[in-house]
Chains A and B, each alone.
Chain A
Amino acid sequence: MTTVIVGAGHGGVQVAASLRAEGHLGPVVLVDGQEDFPYHRPQLSKEFLGPGAGAAQPLRSRSFFTDQEIDLRLGTAAVALHPAERCLEFSDGRTIGYTHLVLALGSTVRNLQVPGVGLDGVARLATLTDAARVRKRLATARHVVLVGGGFLGLEIAAACVGAGRAVTLVEPQDRVLTRAVAPAVSDAVQRAHTQAGTVLRLGTGVERFVGRNGRIQAVILADGSEIPADLVVVAVGALANSGLAERAGLAVDNGVLVDPWLRTSDPAIFAVGDCASHPDRERAVARRVECVQNALDQARHVASTITRGIGEPYDKVPWFWTHQFDLRVQTVGLGFADDVCVVLGEPDEASFSVCRFHHDRLVAVESVNRPQDHIAARRLLSRRLPPDLPEVGSAGFDLKSHELSTRGAA
């Protein structure tokens, strides 16, 4: 009854921990291609880059893995998977058989296909090694350029501005966070960055990077302008690490496809977290979600299925957070571009929430400095009894009071 878990990030470590918590007795093998002891990722683009920041925070203590009899093998990448033989091959040439396999492979920053991307000083930030390298470069850099106006690029920009650097952020769309959040939220984020001194170059992309003696010197934009740079961080979105699954013949489409129980096209193999594309709660589409909560909740669900057999389908509402300067942005649920949006609170004072509706149904709430709204929305969406559009649009509506008044109704 060996369970093998590939990837010792947030999802993989949680699968192993939950298997033991559920009383699973069989061998549990947890492998990761990285040498670093499993760590929290969100800090890497935030506090970790700041002055005086220490080491990365481990996901669990070292003794946890020994005490729980989890066979943690670091520096061991899975290179091939043979579903028919239920066998996995590692980079060190060894193989292992499994009863259940869990893919918790994460995602990787997309490559930018422009000349000069290989110059020294053009970095990306996905792993602890990357973050340590960026932190080191940041110590001596004067001009930093971020490519990509998603959460990651913005967080890194905030950290670099906080460290006193001249920072430019380049985003080809005409505003930041276009895919992620409603315009009101991205406006608030944009304002905070501009006020802090970040130069936002929106609506134009990177044409190429130029350097001297192999080192980055400037970024040339599509509109012809040139920005001096001694550190560039590329954060242009991520792709699922699904190569291992794809080569093994598992169904893959923007991530490893899973059913409502997080099983891949081979029922002995599960996929969780950033690498998995699972059926959306609200619409008939497959979605891949990149956030800690999603990796952890899916991991718990899979551990329960492996230990106790098939139960309820996975049905957690995804939630995510980011903080930049004094903005705490928290989102729950997943929006689509065609949602109808209602704003609650005070956008001008950076304290508000955007409620997103699909056919009058509340499907997502994005909050800026409104934890009370976020928590209420998490409860309402989880209970599947969210308020409808006319209700939220009515005068004096407040998510927290609404949540309190409807408790017990489910």
Chain B
Amino acid sequence: MPSLTFVLPDGTRRTVEGKAGLSVMQVAMAEDVPGIVAECGGNAMCATCHVYADAATADRLPPVTDVEDEMLDSTASPRTSSSRLSCQVDVEEDWGDTTFVVPDTQL
């Protein structure tokens, strides 16, 4: 079972079980992870599902697509090289343990 740890802005960590086929955003919403807003419901249209993938996790993720890349330019918290739109990243069965940092603000 892939496991997803979300590091919240206040430093607390929430570890939840991931399900292959769901996006990281969908897992976070289903588990009430605070700080993931996801206004557009996963269409890469709002950039309010922004997360930072930690270094070890980033290697396991699919590359950023053009659309994701352009929408990442509009995140409310600063974009870094580890920024992803969590709705554009699907959980994979063989991920193992992954860690995503939730930004301070999405709006």
Chain A residues with CB under 8 Å of chain B are 40, 42-43, 57-58, 60-61, 63-64, 67, 292-293, 296, 321, 323, 328, 330, 371-372, 375, 378-379
Instruction: Specify the main secondary structure of chain B where it touches its partner.
Output: loop
A321, A371, A375 — which one has the most chain B CB atoms within 10 A of its CB? A371
In the bound complex, residues from chain A placing their C-beta under 8 Å from that of B32 are 60-61, 63-64, 67
Q: Are A57 and B71 in contact (CB under 8 A)?
A: no
Closest CB in chain B relative to A15 CB, distance in Å: 15
Specify which chain B residues have a CB less than 8 angstroms from the CB of A63 in the assembled complex: 32
Residues of chain A within 8 A (CB-CB) of B40 are: 42, 292, 321
- Residues of B20-74 at the interface with A, using a CB-CB cut-off of 8 Å, are 26, 29-32, 39-43, 45-46, 67, 70-71, 73-74
B interface vs A, CB < 8 Å?
Answer: 26, 29-32, 39-43, 45-46, 67, 70-71, 73-74
- In Å, the complex CA distance between A171 and B71 comes to 33
CB distance from B15 to the nearest CB of A (A): 16
Cβ contacts under 8 Å, B39 to chain A: 292-293, 296
Number of A-B pairs whose CB atoms are under 8 Å? 45
B45 to chain A, nearest CB (A): 4
Across-interface contacts of A330 in B (CB, < 8 A): 45
Given contacts A60-B32, A61-B29, A67-B32, contact A375 B71 (CB under 8 A): yes
Shortest beta-carbon distance from B81 to chain A in Å: 19
> Bound state CA distance, A60 and B26, in angstroms?
10
User: Judging by beta carbons under 8 Å apart, are B41 and A43 in contact?
Assistant: yes
B43 touches A323 (CB 8 A): yes
Assembled-state Cα–Cα distance A212/B73 (Å) = 55
A-B contact pairs, 21 of them (CB 8 A): A40-B41, A42-B43, A43-B41, A57-B29, A57-B42, A58-B29, A60-B29, A64-B32, A67-B32, A292-B39, A292-B41, A293-B46, A296-B39, A323-B43, A330-B45, A371-B67, A371-B74, A372-B73, A375-B71, A378-B74, A379-B74
- For the complex, give the distance between the alpha carbons of A406 and B97 in Å: 43
* A404 → B minimal CB distance (Å): 10
For A379, the closest partner residue in chain B by CB is B74
Taking A42-B43, A57-B42, A375-B70 as given, write out 13 further A-B residue pairs in contact, using a Cβ cutoff of 8 Å, ordered by the A residue number.
A42-B41, A43-B41, A60-B29, A63-B32, A64-B32, A293-B39, A321-B40, A321-B45, A328-B67, A371-B67, A371-B74, A375-B71, A379-B74
